[in-house]
Amino acid sequence: MLYRNAIGAIWLALVLVGSITGARAFDESKYPDFNGQWKRPAGIANQFDISKPQGRAQQVPLTPEYQAIFEAGLADQKAGGQGNDPTYICIPDGMPRVMNVIFPMEIVITPKTTYMMIEYLTQLRRIYTDGRDWPKDFEPSFTGYSIGKWTDADASGRYQTLEVETRLLKGPRTYDPSGAPLHPDNESVVTERIYLDKSDPNVLHDDITTVDHALTRPWTVNKRYVRVNNPIWFEASCAEGNPHLRIDGQNYMLSADGHLMPAKKGQMPPDLRYFNQPRN
């Protein structure tokens, strides 16, 4: 009788183990602690390679053709224009620029997807870690399609690194506001290694390598972010109060009193051919 009771108890125990294991499918302790708010380090602006200043100093390994496009954009910016930077009318940064993290970032890890939420232009990245393959019919997007894999390099039983590959991008995209361009064929492939600093768990690294037809070779940078605990999340809406307009391929600005004004010296006003009466 006792023997039968013991078997019954063990069977019940096994059933319970199974059910509890299933119920607790998400073991957070297997993953690195990416909780909190991540910001650019102090003193870092919106440049892509944070070890160098913006502009030419980034030394983007552009092909001669795209270096010339970059230089023309810089000249336009010097004249008051926006150059190659498409974001002035609230076009999203896209990958990999989104990882400049112009506004703070939150990372939420779930077993199948890691979410990166950046409070600017609804820049949401989904990094799929469920073992899926590349989709056949995905519409290209500014943030692209990201597939990730968690790795436990030192076999500690806890993942340390999220390796990500992003494809299926659309443009126009630049690396930062200076307008160093990505190729308009949008065949960029961006790989990342995201991990906590070994000596400071409040520092996050993202080693980003971009392969793009506007580059002479893959371009790798190391991005860093610092953790803010108990953060305040503020809403950063590009469209709210944005004084930039694009009309007939030209950028114009809105004055504080709401009137259209030139963005460059000597800029002509927009063509008003569709209006059948002049303003008095």
Partner 1 sequence: MTCRSSIGAIALLAALLLPSFLLPDAGALAFDQSKYPDLKGQWERIGSPRWDDDHAPLTAEYQAIYQANLKDMKAGGQGIDPTYTCLSPGMPRIMNVYDPMEIVVTPATTHILIQHNHDMRRIFTDGRDWPSDEEPSFAGYSIGKWIDSKGTGRFDLLEVETRNLKGPRVYDASGLPFHKDNKTVINERIYLDQADPNLLHDDITVMDHALTRPFAANKKYSRSKDPQPVWLEAQCSDGNHHVQIGKENYYVGEDGYLMPVKKDQAPPDLKYFNKK
* Binding positions for partner 1, 223-252, rule CB under 8 A: 232-235, 237-240, 245-249
* From 57-65, 72-80, 90-98, 185-193, span contacting partner 1 (CB under 8 A): 90-98
- 270 sits near partner 1 (criterion: CB under 8 A): yes
Identified binder of partner 1 from the candidate list 48, 142, 175, 195, rule CB under 8 A: 142
Question: Minimum distance from CB of 273 to partner 1 (Å)?
Answer: 6
Q: Which CB atom, from 27 or from 197, has the smaller least distance to partner 1?
A: 27
- 25 sits near partner 1 (criterion: CB under 8 A): yes
Q: Which CB atom, from 10 or from 211, has the smaller least distance to partner 1?
A: 10
Identified binder of partner 1 from the candidate list 51, 59, 110, 216, rule CB under 8 A: 110
- 131 sits near partner 1 (criterion: CB under 8 A): no
What would the two tokens of residue 198 be?
């070994």
- 5 sits near partner 1 (criterion: CB under 8 A): yes
- 254 sits near partner 1 (criterion: CB under 8 A): yes
Q: Are 51 and 170 in contact (CB under 8 A)?
A: no
- 3 sits near partner 1 (criterion: CB under 8 A): yes
Question: Minimum distance from CB of 53 to partner 1 (Å)?
Answer: 28
Question: Minimum distance from CB of 41 to partner 1 (Å)?
Answer: 23
Residue 261, beta-bridge partner list: 253
* From 72-80, 175-183, 203-211, 261-269, span contacting partner 1 (CB under 8 A): 261-269
Q: Which CB atom, from 64 or from 241, has the smaller least distance to partner 1?
A: 241
What's the one-letter identity of residue 193?
Answer: R
Q: What number of chain residues touch partner 1 (CB under 8 A)?
A: 75
* From 96-104, 135-143, 178-186, 203-211, span contacting partner 1 (CB under 8 A): 135-143
3-state secondary structure the chain: CHHHHHHHHHHHHHHHHHHHHHHCCCCHHHCCCCCCEEECCCCCCCCCCCCCCCHHHHCCCECHHHHHHHHHHHHHHHCCCCCCCHHHHCCCCCCCHHHHCCCCEEEEECCCEEEEEECCCCEEEEEECCCCCCCCCCCCECCCEEEEEEECCCCCCCCCEEEEEEECECCCCECCCCCCECCCCCCCEEEEEEEECCCCCCEEEEEEEEECCCECCCEEEEEEEEEECCCCCCCCCCCCCCCEEEECCEEEEECCCCCEEECCCCCCCCCCCCCCCCCC
Identified binder of partner 1 from the candidate list 44, 74, 117, 203, rule CB under 8 A: 117
Question: Minimum distance from CB of 143 to partner 1 (Å)?
Answer: 6
Rounded to whole angstroms, what are the CA distances from 214 to 98, 146, 166?
19, 21, 17
Question: Minimum distance from CB of 198 to partner 1 (Å)?
Answer: 21
Identified binder of partner 1 from the candidate list 39, 52, 126, 149, rule CB under 8 A: 126
Query: What is the Cα gyration radius of the chain?
Result: 24
Q: Which CB atom, from 155 or from 256, has the smaller least distance to partner 1?
A: 256
**Residue 11, exposed/middle/buried by CB under 10 A (0-12, 13-18, 19+)?**
exposed
- 203 sits near partner 1 (criterion: CB under 8 A): no
